[in-house]
Amino acid sequence: MGRASTRVTIWNEYRHEKDNPDVAKVYPDGIHEALRQGLAPYGFDLETATLDEPEHGLAEAVLDRTDVLIWWGHRAHDEVDDRIVERVQERVLQGMGLIVLHSGHYSKIFKKLMGTSCALKWREADEKERLWVVKPTHPIAAGLPEYFELEKEEMYGEFFDVPDPDELVLVSWFEGGEVFRSGCAYHRGHGKIFYFRPGHETYPTYYREPVLRVIANSIGWASDARGAAPWYGNAAPLETIRHKDV
């Protein structure tokens, strides 16, 4: 599944880490850098990009060399330039993979690709989350136990206003009793999209091995070989088809 040389760009809003001491303690170099270091052992070709860079770090040249884009955002969704969102959407439709993490559910790019509000209920508390693997045969579930737990996380609860996933890989349960579709796989155009729920900025979620494995597996799945490339446009004249040897 996937390729060791898969080119991955990790995009992070990178605001909380710079002005919230509690977040800086957990991710002193940013969530993007924690993910880069955590995913490095899997052999991917990794680079990072952040909101305040020119073109949000997502110039055409960057996206052209990106097989899979990872997206983490939270409080500055509205600051993402619509032109960049359209650029990312076009690349996804062409075949670039997209992994949307945690509060990235409310990003412009995820809402644009889903076509819904992507709204949900939430509760910020020191709350246990148990993630159940509900499709163990899926490549994203490779190497995972039946379930794994995060001792402290933010709760996301249903109803989650997204289209029904093409494949549902993980479901979360929280101490408050809520459940959530936390691992949702989609296809859009020629690209693959995976939404993965955990990752609140005040908890060390992105240092946990099962979480990194899910992300690494989703990179492999999203970058794996596609089927035949679609052909669009004016079809050959009928007379040409009638006289063509089959």
Give the pLDDT of residue 4: 55
For 194-229, the pLDDT digits (tens) are 999 999 999 999 999 999 999 999 999 999 877 777
Tokens standing for residue 19 = 């002005």
Q: Which fold does the domain 7-118+183-226 belong to in CATH?
A: Rossmann fold (3.40.50)
What are the structural domain ranges in the chain? 7-118+183-226
For 85-139, the pLDDT digits (tens) are 999 999 999 999 999 999 999 999 999 999 999 999 999 989 999 999 999 999 9
For 149-197, the pLDDT digits (tens) are 999 999 999 999 999 999 999 999 999 999 999 999 999 999 999 999 9
- Is residue 48 a contact partner of residue 32, using CB atoms and an 8 Å limit? yes
What is the overall mean pLDDT for the chain? 95
CA-to-CA separations, 105 to 111, 182, 224, in angstroms, rounded: 7, 11, 23
pTM for the model stands at: 0.94
